[in-house]
Amino acid sequence: MTRFLLPDLSRRLRGEELMDRPDVREGELRVALGNVAEANYRFAGLRSLLRHVGPHAIGRTQLSLLDVGVGNGAVSRTLSRILARRGVRVRWVGLDFHPVVLNVARAELSGSDGFGGLVRGDGTRLPFPDRSFDVSTATLTFHHLVDGDCVRMLAEMARVTRLAVVVSDLERSLVNYLGARLLSETLWRSDPLTRHDAGVSVRRSFTADELRALASEVPFGSVIVRRHFPFRLVLEGRP
């Protein structure tokens, strides 16, 4: 295993992830986004999101959802299938700024039930009217942003949402960093993007107090931040 020094985790890293580069190749990004989707499935990303979105579907037959930072769309596609089995039809829209991400998502999502289309846009200036969606989500999106843009995106998500804003991301801790490095040297060893980005993404992520501080700058009616084993923090804000 590659030797490495323990990083400073006292503050967020400003380093770049390879998948964020504008010149990333579509084939490479497709593999990396597939690994992210696998991590969401294996390591409670999807389950933790469902725990916060699911209660807002109780008693409903339909739910509209905006996925900010859609990636390859696997999270919202799977979430909509789970809720469909509970009798709730989800109509969802995916947004991303990266054109190559949107190309990957478009190929992956063609014909998916409940899929309402993809929009290229800036999450800090969402191109939707106020209260357009029941729920808005962002999964493993916020750690790609500086703090100021996180606040602006939260405010925009709150603006376009009627019921709840749900943000799921990594918790920055030594245990989580070591776990990411272990996965990068084993499960994701053959993919250079994921191998590089796994540890960087944890270093760019948040503590629970940092997420609360970001949310405090947005006029939510209520906010909760919860840990979900093994790696996740979920912020739920209700406008």
Place of tokens 């999450």: 123
The per-residue pLDDT for 2 is 52
Lowest mean pLDDT of 49-53, 170-174, 187-191, 196-200, name the range.
187-191
Sheet-wide strand order for 133-139: 115-120, 89-96, 62-68, 133-139, 161-170, 232-238, 222-228
- Pairwise CA distance, residues 221 & 234, whole Å: 17
CB 77: neighbour CB atoms within 10 A? 22
Burial zone of 166 (CB within 10 Å; 0-12 exposed, 13-18 middle, 19+ buried): buried
Average pLDDT, the chain: 94
The first and second tokens of residue 229, run together, are 């084993």
CB 221: neighbour CB atoms within 10 A? 8
pLDDT-above-70 percentage for the chain = 98
- Pairwise CA distance, residues 195 & 184, whole Å: 4
DSSP label at 171? Answer: B
The per-residue pLDDT for 40 is 84
Cis peptide before 7 (omega within 30 of 0): no
3-state secondary structure of 206: strand
- Pairwise CA distance, residues 14 & 203, whole Å: 9
The per-residue pLDDT for 41 is 81
Statement: residue 4 has pLDDT above 70: no
Classify 71 in phi/psi space as left (phi over 0), alpha (psi -120 to 50) or beta: left
Lowest mean pLDDT of 36-40, 118-122, 129-133, name the range.
36-40
18-238: what fold?
Rossmann fold (3.40.50)
Statement: residue 58 has pLDDT above 60: yes
Q: pTM for the complete prediction?
A: 0.94
pLDDT-above-90 percentage for the chain = 79
Q: Which residues of 82-109 are buried (b: 16+ CB within 10 A; e: fewer)?
A: bbeeeebebbbbbbbebebbbebbeebb
Position 183 confidence tier, pLDDT thresholds 50, 70, 90: confident
Statement: residue 1 has pLDDT above 80: no
- The domain spans of the chain are 18-238
The per-residue pLDDT for 61 is 98
pLDDT digit string, tens, across residues 24-57? 999 999 999 998 888 888 887 899 999 999 999 9
The first and second tokens of residue 56, run together, are 């807002």
- Pairwise CA distance, residues 13 & 63, whole Å: 36
